[in-house]
Amino acid sequence: MTVKHGLQAVTVAVVAGLLGLLIWKVAHQEKGVKLGAGRTPPAPQFALSRLDAPGKLALASLRGKVVVLNFWASWCVPCKSEAPRLEAAWQRYRDKGVVIVGVDAQDFSGDAKHFVQKYELTYPNVHDGPGDVLPKYGVTGFPETYFVDRRGRLVGDRVAGEITAAKLTAGIQHALQS
């Protein structure tokens, strides 16, 4: 009888332990920043290898500037369409304290470098092969664009999918005025 109760207790303890582990995992899963409804959470930090130059680029080093964060991949079709638009915005706003940063993720770095050359992108682009930064922002697909104000806070809404020139301009203006 005692042994039977002991076995039952061990079984219950094992099941409870596994359940606890599952709950902990779900509770600690990164869901990304919450945007919209006037929220301005701090932009999650990262330091990633540059595709267009040696060394790394840290988001923290751009504090004091408005940053347009564009997540992309070379195999993503809409990313190809919006690339010239982002380059045009970079040329237009670079002297006004705006930096466009491309974050190439889940991609071969060689393909990404080829993409940067092909579309003649001169704004900084970094490589996140494993896609470690994606869950921090809650990126659900490519392309996706975020706006960071001078204080390092995310402002406005994320733009999921190919960004239009109008949305890009509106996002930059909003971040500049924040």
Partner 1 sequence: MRLAALLLLALVLAAPAAASEQHPTLGELEGEVMCPTCKTTLDQSSAPIANRIRRFITTRIAAGDTRSEIKQKLVAQFGPAILAEPSRHGFNLLAWVLPFVAIGLGAAVLAWLVWRWSRRREAASAAAADSPIDPELERRVDDELARFDA
**Applying CB under 8 A, which residues contact partner 1?**
7, 73, 75-76, 106-109, 111, 129-132
Tokens at residue 44, please?
Answer: 């999650």
Pick between residue 80 and residue 94 the one whose CB is nearest to partner 1.
Answer: 80
Distance CA 8, CA 2 (A): 10
Parallel, antiparallel, or unpaired for β 98-105 and 144-148?
unpaired
Tokens at residue 166, please?
Answer: 């109008």
CB of 166 to partner 1, least distance (A): 28
Listed residue (128, 151, 127, 131) closest to 139, CA to CA: 131
Distance CA 160, CA 169 (A): 15
Pick between residue 19 and residue 88 the one whose CB is nearest to partner 1.
Answer: 19
Pick between residue 11 and residue 122 the one whose CB is nearest to partner 1.
Answer: 11
CB of 132 to partner 1, least distance (A): 7
Pick between residue 73 and residue 121 the one whose CB is nearest to partner 1.
Answer: 73
CB of 117 to partner 1, least distance (A): 18
